[in-house]
Amino acid sequence: MTKDEIIAASLLAMRRVQGLLAAREAGDGNTDEYEDVVIAALAERLPEGDIKTCDDLRHLGIECCNICHTSYPHYDMYLEQVPDGRRCWVCCSVRSALLEISTGGPI
């Protein structure tokens, strides 16, 4: 995926599952402002180019952490580099698995 695709998917997941709960919790009810914060933070953290995601790593058999994907992806998701040099945008569960994989093993 690209940076823009990840941002769009993150916003969609947040809207679908949480209804931008954080903006409502803040009491201002202004979800547009909160989306702007999410977009800016993700745009800053994500690199250009192809980025693998949890979906690309399903063969590891790890269940994703729904909270990372839907509540605060701009804070809770991780950008990791795997031994072959690919960059992966992953939740805490997949990140833990990546960190346990030996550097010689294919992902």
Could you read off the pLDDT of 6-17 as tens digits, one per residue?
A: 999 999 888 877
| Domain boundaries defined on the chain | 3-100
- How far, in Å, CA of 80 to CA of 32, rounded? 29
- Predicted local distance difference test score (pLDDT) of residue 20: 55
The string of pLDDT tens digits covering residues 43-89 is 999 999 999 999 998 988 899 988 898 888 999 999 998 878 899 99
Please state the length of the chain. Answer: 107
Position 100 scores a pLDDT of 80
Q: What single-letter DSSP state applies at residue 3?
A: H
Q: Convert the pLDDT of each residue in 25-53 to its tens digit.
A: 555 555 678 889 999 999 999 999 999 99
At 102 the pLDDT is 46
Q: What is the pTM of this model?
A: 0.79
